[in-house]
């Protein structure tokens, strides 16, 4: 084919109807592949300058924004839709990803707040107060009762917040004057008790219970601890006359054992006989006892000035009979068991020996009218607490378990008390009572006696 024929065969530009702005056609197919964003017109801006800056055409901008006159009349401060750049798109995607991560973290935190893992020392009332929910709602959410026991590592569902901690604190402040004005009685903490359970059982508002006893939601209570609750106290009994009767000291007797056996306080016994905690008894020595102090029998229900119900007295009698029928270690064997147990649990052996001697004279068959059992004179409620501390069920009638109970309680007291005297006093009076009321007179005598024993053992 000749060049002339070839040229003639090519169609003209008019015949192909090529567009005058081919780039516009391409841009109109995807004028904003990353979306649109609003731009504010600045001084000196023209539609053409904006199109160049945003990588588009004036036609696309005019069409997207409905501009007349080809966008020749732009006002400073007006807003135009312009194509979003790739960098802007990436930045927006990064922000969206960060926001999504933040929302996920917030959901995870909410899940963590909705679930609480029980730690050592926790109580239902403390958890409820700490999370700003009522005890009733916490119990309902977890299908528990006020007598339910918590276990370390147990997971609890936290219901919707009903009150913030500041609000709860404000409520306690508001109820404090009323709490101070109301009549109160003393409640003795039992094994398994919680502040919430005590509040429910005695119909004392939890905030009032805190105010009456200067407690916080994180306070820990112990079996035997005295707590003020709402109620009317009975008139105190009159003191017994100072008449005395004689008791003859026998082998193995100690001042505290004699006081316990005859239902009087150690301080009263010391005062009546003009003795001190360091006094040494001799076999055959005559000791004066207040005449109204009765020897411990199944019908006697008073110990250290406190009257106990028949159920406790009868339980003490049954335990005494059970131990009388059992074989128990000798005092020397018991001493060795106390030393080994104390070392195993990180307690000063001399302190454990002194407590054991003060409480029972290392006599496993010793049972008080208050049903304090064995070598370490542990009551059943404290035995349950000691079982939790030891991580296994302890049988207080078993000499080794009884010693273990006393030693782990002593370990807990020495770790919690500010000093050794307070720890020893806590074993006798209860650490909370010591911290709140100070040491009673008989408690001071008890501490001095234990320390004297410790120095010579």
> Strand 184-188 vs strand 226-230: parallel, antiparallel, or unpaired?
antiparallel
Residue 48 DSSP symbol: H
Residues facing residue 186 across a β-bridge? 228
List 184's β-bridge partners, or say none. Answer: 230
Asked if residue 406 lies in contact with residue 378, where contact means CB atoms within 8 angstroms, the answer is yes
Contacts 24+ apart (CB under 8 A), 34-37: 34/83, 34/84, 34/85, 34/86, 34/88, 34/89, 35/83, 35/84, 35/89, 36/64, 36/81, 36/82, 36/83, 36/84, 37/81, 37/82, 37/83, 37/84, 37/88
pLDDT at 65: 83
Distance CA 124, CA 130 (A): 10
Determine the 3-state secondary structure of 125 from DSSP.
helix
| Residue among 345, 358, 457 at smallest CA distance from 405 | 345
Kindly compute the dihedral angle of the four CA atoms of residues 249, 252, 256, 261, in this order, to the nearest 10 degrees: -70
Predicted confidence pLDDT, tens digits, the chain (457 residues): 444 444 444 455 444 444 444 444 444 456 788 888 888 888 888 888 888 888 888 888 888 888 777 667 778 888 888 898 888 888 888 988 888 888 888 777 666 667 888 887 777 777 877 777 777 788 888 888 777 778 888 888 888 643 334 444 444 444 444 444 567 888 888 766 777 778 777 878 877 888 888 887 667 777 778 888 887 544 444 544 567 888 888 877 888 888 878 878 888 888 888 888 777 888 889 989 887 544 444 345 555 556 678 888 889 889 999 999 999 999 999 999 999 999 999 999 999 999 999 888 899 998 888 889 999 999 998 999 999 999 999 999 999 999 999 999 999 999 988 999 999 999 988 888 888 888 988 888 889 888 988 988 7
Token pair of 216 as six digits = 């916080």
Assess contact for 246 and 288: CB atoms under 8 A.
yes
Q: How far is CA 74 from the centre of its chain?
A: 68
Taking residue 389's Cβ as centre, other Cβ atoms within 10 Å add up to 18
Q: 47-54 and 58-65 helices cross at what angle (nearest 10)? A: 100
């Amino acid at each position: 084919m000749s060049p002339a024929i070839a040229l003639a065969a090519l169609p003209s530009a008019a015949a192909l109807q090529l567009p005058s702005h081919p780039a516009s056609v391409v841009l109109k197919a995807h004028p904003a592949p990353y979306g649109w964003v609003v731009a504010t017109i600045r001084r000196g801006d023209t539609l053409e300058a904006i199109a160049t800056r945003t990588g588009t055409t004036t036609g696309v901008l005019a069409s997207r924004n409905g501009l007349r006159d080809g966008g020749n009349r732009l006002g400073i401060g007006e807003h135009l839709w312009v194509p979003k750049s790739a960098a802007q798109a990436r930045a927006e995607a990064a922000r969206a990803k960060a926001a999504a991560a933040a929302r996920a973290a917030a959901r995870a935190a909410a899940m963590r707040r909705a679930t609480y893992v029980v730690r050592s020392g926790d109580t239902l009332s403390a958890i409820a107060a700490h999370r700003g929910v009522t005890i009733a709602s916490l119990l309902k959410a977890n299908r528990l009762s006020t007598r339910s026991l918590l276990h370390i590592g147990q997971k609890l569902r936290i219901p919707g917040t009903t009150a913030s901690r500041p609000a709860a604190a404000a409520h306690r402040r508001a109820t404090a004057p009323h709490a101070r004005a109301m009549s109160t009685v003393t409640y003795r903490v039992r094994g398994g008790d919680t502040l919430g359970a005590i509040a429910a059982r005695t119909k004392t508002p939890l905030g009032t219970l805190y105010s009456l006893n200067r407690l916080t939601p994180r306070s820990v209570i112990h079996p035997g601890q005295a707590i003020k609750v709402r109620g009317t106290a009975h008139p105190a009994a009159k003191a017994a006359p100072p008449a005395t009767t004689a008791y003859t000291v026998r082998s193995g007797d100690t001042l505290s054992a004699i006081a316990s056996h005859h239902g009087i306080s150690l301080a009263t016994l010391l005062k009546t006989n003009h003795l001190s905690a360091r006094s040494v008894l001799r076999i055959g020595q005559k000791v004066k006892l207040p005449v109204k102090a009765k020897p411990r029998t199944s019908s006697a229900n008073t110990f250290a000035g406190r009257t106990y119900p028949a159920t406790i007295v009868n339980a003490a009698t049954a335990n005494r009979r059970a131990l009388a029928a059992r074989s128990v270690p000798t005092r020397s064997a018991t001493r060795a068991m106390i030393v080994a147990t104390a070392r195993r649990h990180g307690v000063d052996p001399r302190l454990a020996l002194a407590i054991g001697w003060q409480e029972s004279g290392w006599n496993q068959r010793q049972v008080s009218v208050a049903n304090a059992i064995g070598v370490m004179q542990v009551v059943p409620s404290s035995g349950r607490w000691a079982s939790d501390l030891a991580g296994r069920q302890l049988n207080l009638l078993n000499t080794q378990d009884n010693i273990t109970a006393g030693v782990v309680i002593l370990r807990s007291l020495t770790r919690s008390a500010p000093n050794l005297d307070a720890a020893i006093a806590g074993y006798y009076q209860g650490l909370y009572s010591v911290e709140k009321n100070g040491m009673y007179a008989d408690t001071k005598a008890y501490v001095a006696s234990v320390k004297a024993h410790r120095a010579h053992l």
